[in-house]
Amino acid sequence: MLKNSMDYFKYTLWPSIKVRLTYWWWVIKYRGKKNIPREVFFGALTKSVSQMQENMMQALRAIPPNLEEDEKKQFLEAIYNVHELKDEISDLK
């Protein structure tokens, strides 16, 4: 029971709490939300997308051999979409 509640907190609640805390930390640090430098925002976004891409590549290496072709195709499309997102973020910088 405790394990399930800790997993719920870790994977469901904590990410949104962490994002909000980081945002408000930036607001306080830079004295207003309009003063947050774009480099800080896009740097954090780039880091997050890079970590997601790395995690997806690790998951790709661990795909079981008995996975259906449709599921493999969906996963590869997701990896491609993450790569495109990373490229678009780089272009926005």
Long-range contacts of range 8-16, CB-CB < 8 Å, 24 or more positions apart?
Answer: none
Give the pTM.
Answer: 0.73
Q: Which of 49, 25, 47, 45 is nearest to 36 (CA)?
A: 25
Distance CA 57, CA 76 (A): 10
Q: How confident is the model at residue 3 (pLDDT cuts 50, 70, 90)?
A: confident
Query: Is the CA virtual torsion 53, 58, 59, 60 positive or negative?
Result: positive
**For the chain, what are the domain ranges?**
1-36, 37-93
DSSP conformation class of 9? I
- pLDDT (tens digit, 9 = 90+) per residue, 9-20? 888 888 899 999
Residue 2 has pLDDT above 70, yes or no: no
Residues found in the chain: 93
